[in-house]
Amino acid sequence: MDKTPSAISAFLDIKRNRTKKKQKLYKLAFDVSIDITTSIYSVAFLIMCGFLIYGMMIEYRHVFLEIEQFIASQYTLLLFILVMRSLVSSFTRPGVLFSSAELQLSLLPYSMKRLWMYCAYEKWIKSILTWTVFATILTIITPFHASTLFPVAIVMIVIQILTTTLQWKLFQVNTLNKFIVIFSVGFLYGLTRLVYAFMSLNNWYLVVTVLIPLVIVNMLLIKRLFKKIDWMKVVQTNDLVIWNIWFVNQMSKVEIKPPKRQGLLQAIVHRTRSKKPFTYNLSTMYARLWRRHFAQEKEQLIKVFGGIIILLAVLSFKGPWMFGIAITLSIFLFANIGSFFFSSMFIDRLVSSMPWDMEIWKQSFLRWAYGGGGVVLLLLSILLLARTGISLWIPVQLLSYLAIASYYLKHQMREKAYVISRVEYVNKLVESTLIIGMFILTAISIVYPYVSFITIACYFVLTRGKLWPAML
């Protein structure tokens, strides 16, 4: 008589053991970080905050009603954001938590395909329970109505189910193909939305237009689900996702780093040419260090550029004022996050032990920054063409955006350079005023494109004057 447990029994046994191990880790972390006295005060503080927040929600009930109206009219936008979220997530996660435990189980007389399906079912069940409970809690404690929250929860669940196979297969392809797919989906969505707006069709037709292709893609991928799969890459990534517990890491002061992968950026960094000797000069050496630094931070870079692109793409359909604000926010984020990456290089022990030539450091970094900014500028030009058609104002607007982005990035880098060099920095009143003015002009440049000339004029005033310190 065969006493081998069934596949589902073995799978559930693994899940139970994993849950017990995580509970032990959480208990150890909590024992280290929280004592009884702190717990009592924390609970009392949270209860007080809960009453305060509840009172504020009742007072601002009209705001919740406005949010409900916006959500009800923008289901298509929600669908697009959720689909793009899954596509962008394919850079770092396969979408199904098939770990080393399931892989080892498949070496026994258990089907790998069946174990994969159990992992997918687990994800879908968790999604259904999570969004249902979340919608129920929000219905009880907030002014939101169930008629708004539960349809949103259903949309979340449906999209998560329909994009599982798409994310799984997209995780296997190289970085360049991922970008091609993401940009293609964004372009097709924007084109479809413009066509539907031109034909004055109901938004629900657009919802159907989004869902039907997802169903067709699932039907096509289901037969190729386990072809050309790098199982070791999947297992290494999922093991990291499962056991990289943020709270436990913070308490133990141990950081779990992801395994090295041979993606597009790594291929650039480790290409044969890069391993050959080079003529020694600071510019070449700094360029290689920046390449290495960006390769290590590739996930953060993808999130930053993905967020900026989604911000521009989404708000470009919300009218000229919102589009102008989106451009302003994108420039602000690009410059600030760019300067953060610039300063983060000097945390590296290798760099901190070297003599610096700050001027060459900045020039080397700006070459990379302008390359990334060029991608965003290309998208922006496409969105401007989609909104206004061919117009003589578009080159002027793009030139003004390039001017403020370039200047503000250098301004932020200058501040970071002073901090790194431990020199006190004093903001110039005229310079700060002109920068604020340029941002305001950028925000209204879609409605009043002629103000772009003023932005360009401010740029020339700043760059030709004596506002720049000698070090830049």
- Per-residue pLDDT at 133: 92
Could you report the per-residue pLDDT of 254-309, keeping only the tens digit for each?
Answer: 655 555 444 444 444 444 445 555 555 566 666 677 677 666 677 677 777 777 87
Does position 417 have pLDDT exceeding 80, yes or no? no
Return the ∠ at Cα 311 (arms to 310 and 315), rounded to 5°.
115
- Per-residue pLDDT at 124: 92
Q: Can you tell me the mean pLDDT for 365-376?
A: 78
- Per-residue pLDDT at 272: 47
The residues spanned by each domain of the chain are 7-237, 262-464
User: Which of 52-56, 60-64, 192-196, 410-414 is predicted most confidently?
Assistant: 410-414
Size of the chain in residues: 472
Does position 130 have pLDDT exceeding 70, yes or no? yes
Could you report the per-residue pLDDT of 456-465, keeping only the tens digit for each?
Answer: 888 888 886 4
Could you report the per-residue pLDDT of 8-19, keeping only the tens digit for each?
Answer: 888 888 888 888
- Per-residue pLDDT at 422: 67
User: Residue 228 class from Cβ within 10 Å (0-12 exposed, 13-18 middle, 19+ buried)?
Assistant: exposed
**DSSP-based helix, strand, coil % in the chain, nearest 5:** 80, 0, 20
Q: Which residue has the higher pLDDT, 358 or 89?
A: 89
From CA 131, how far away is CA 230, in angstroms rounded? 31
Q: Which residue has the higher pLDDT, 281 or 73?
A: 73
Q: Residue 241 — pLDDT band, cuts 50, 70, 90? A: confident
- Per-residue pLDDT at 132: 92
Of 372, 376, 374, give the one whose Cα is nearest residue 309: 376
- Per-residue pLDDT at 355: 60
Give Cα 291 to chain centroid, integer Å.
Answer: 21
Could you report the per-residue pLDDT of 179-238, keeping only the tens digit for each?
Answer: 888 888 877 877 777 777 676 666 666 677 778 888 888 888 888 888 888 888 888 888
Tokens of 298: 């590739």
Mean pLDDT across the chain = 77
- Per-residue pLDDT at 472: 38
Q: Residue 424 — pLDDT band, cuts 50, 70, 90? A: low
Does position 55 have pLDDT exceeding 90, yes or no? no
Contact status, residue 409 vs residue 438, Cβ threshold 8 Å: no
Tokens of 399: 């030139």
Which residue has tokens 């689909």?
83
Q: Residue 125 — pLDDT band, cuts 50, 70, 90? A: very high
SS3 250: helix
Contact status, residue 29 vs residue 252, Cβ threshold 8 Å: yes
Could you report the per-residue pLDDT of 285-295, keeping only the tens digit for each?
Answer: 666 776 776 66
Does position 468 have pLDDT exceeding 50, yes or no? no
- Per-residue pLDDT at 139: 86
From CA 342, how far away is CA 365, in angstroms rounded? 7
